[in-house]
Amino acid sequence: MIVDDLKNRNKFNIKLEELFGLDLRSLALFRVGLALIIIVELIIRATDLTAHYSDAGVMPRTLLNEISNPFHWSINSISGEPFVQGLIFLFAGIVAIALLVGYQTRLATIAMWAFIISIHNRNPVLIFAADHVLRALLFWAMFLPLGANYSIDSALNSSTEKLPKRIASAATVAFMIQMVLIYAGSAAYKTKSEIWWPDGDAVYYALSFDGYATAFGQFLLSFPQPILKLLTWAALWFEWLGPFMIFIPFAITFFRSVSVVSFILLHISFGLCFTLGIFPYLSIVSWFALIPTAVWDNWQEKIQTNERQGLKIYYDADCGFCKKVVYLLRTFLILPGTPITTCQTDESIYADMQEKNSWVVVDWQENRRFKWEALVYVFSLSPVFKPLAFVMGLPSIIPLGTKFYETIANNRKLAGNFTKPFKFRPLDIRPYRGLNIVVFLLVIYTLIWNVKGFVTQTYQRRKVEKQDLITKAHKLFRRRTVQKLDVVGKLTKLDQSWSIFAPAPPRDDGWHVIQGNLKNGKEVDVLYEKGESVSWEKPTMKQFNKLYRNMQWRSYFLTLNRAIGKKLYPYYAEYVCSEWNKKNEGSEKLESLDIFFMEERTVPPGETQTVEKKSVMQKSCSDDQKNIEGDSN
């Protein structure tokens, strides 16, 4: 009887691990993808250091202090100089590279999370949906063993204890819950608008919004309304129900695979229809973490060949640099299980090593390869980097490669200085009880915050007050004791709100026109065609994309048309004057400028579109003049 109970308990534990566990290979792929996206994002943001993060740009620290929450901290706020911002971005980039290669992975993840929060808080006007997702993913990633596979940490793991394929912990559950919140939370907001349900016009309004439009999106907009309505309802119900497939307790591999593929396809479609920056790519990468173990096992079984199974690598036991390099090669070329041995264990191999002054690579037919040729052969067996072997093996490259190898071999001590920071250390990925408790409490807090956001927005949108659960919950969340807990959310940026295109897609469409008045009396179009006469016609998509050259500028210009725009416009106008006058001399400098917004509010299907010209503000580009806010014309 006791034996049966133990068997049942073991089966139950295995089932729980399968349901709530994440494969270490999936987490590694997620880490690599996440790091690559962060590196690209940092590079894109760094192109606008002065404009977006310095006191000479659109968000000087005086304005930031006025509009930001005091608990939204930022390392970037220590200085308003572009040079200092550049250093901060450089350090963030180094951390991102450490995350990419999996070096001191947990520490790198924590530092990356802190840098991202800092950069986001330095200019909150630039924030878009992808930024919320990135912060959330990085937060839970801090508690996950991202470096347990395909990393420097795993390559130099000195522990004799074999790592499991999959791990289940409070952190893996938290990550999965976060994925559900992103989609189901967004769907919950959307159900508060009739545009999504029952009208089904949300896709029409979203595709009509020029701020996000793509050529394919505009093509899709020409489809008949019944098709667009069907797409609206399908998207809404899929966001509601799709994420919960990851918690189905039977046929786990099947449903998990279906959910991963489905959401990847969903985000590919989003990327085709809308200009959303890193959002589609980041969302796709987030689903990599949920690839089931069986998928990896099946792939590894298929790529096994006699050549890979028969590979053996020998290195000099007296060369610590050599040992680290061969272990790193085995890991990053994805050749798990390849025997790595010291040359000194075999007299014949040792003799060859001394004669050739080289490592020794033995193939499946017992042929021995040396120096650069051996490296080319090992690369040729990699399921990922095999194409590089073709380039490395070109007749023109082999002599150069051999010379490079010999230079390294003759200067091992010098080369060893580059690998000194990389130490062999035991890798422990066991979930500790104390950490599990902390993560569990943070998950509860995150759930409460998401509920709070939904309740608050629902209550504020009501035209008539009702005495129901929403009203009672709203009163509860407004209690001073409860509000004190908001500090945690603001400090950690767990103050989440998943409201992209929710409750309804934006309809306050339009474009800006800035009429510049030069000292020589000439009028110029400051935004779209510098030096040309002012045009009130709607910009082409090419002109829009030139103005919105990245997602940060796109978000900024869209935010200008929101309520906070009144505080932003004077600083933006000052920046425009400054930038123009830096590039022009004498009579070509700006004397003043007039900012207009051509409001093209999206109308329901079948109605005629109208455009209303609004004067936003006038700005003198001379220091002795003041801004003059305009009225609607």
CA distance 415 to 322: 10
pTM, two decimals, is 0.94
pLDDT per position as a tens digit, 51-109? 999 999 999 999 999 999 999 999 999 999 999 999 999 999 999 999 999 999 999 99
Percent of the chain whose predicted confidence (pLDDT) is above 90: 76
Largest CA distance in the chain: 98
CA distance 362 to 202: 62
Write out the E strands in 316-417.
Answer: 340-342, 360-362, 368-370
Q: Mean pLDDT of all residues in the chain?
A: 92
Residue 629 pLDDT class (50, 70, 90 cuts): very low
pLDDT per position as a tens digit, 519-569? 998 999 998 766 678 889 888 888 888 888 899 999 999 999 888 999 999
Q: CA-based Rg of the chain, rounded to a whole angstrom?
A: 29
pLDDT per position as a tens digit, 98-135? 999 999 999 999 999 999 999 999 999 999 999 999 99
Quickly count helices (H) and strands (E) in the chain.
29, 11
**How many Cβ atoms sit within 10 Å of the Cβ of residue 519?**
16
Residue 556 contacts residue 126 (beta carbons within 8 Å): yes
Q: What is the pLDDT of residue 531?
A: 62
Residue 626 pLDDT class (50, 70, 90 cuts): very low
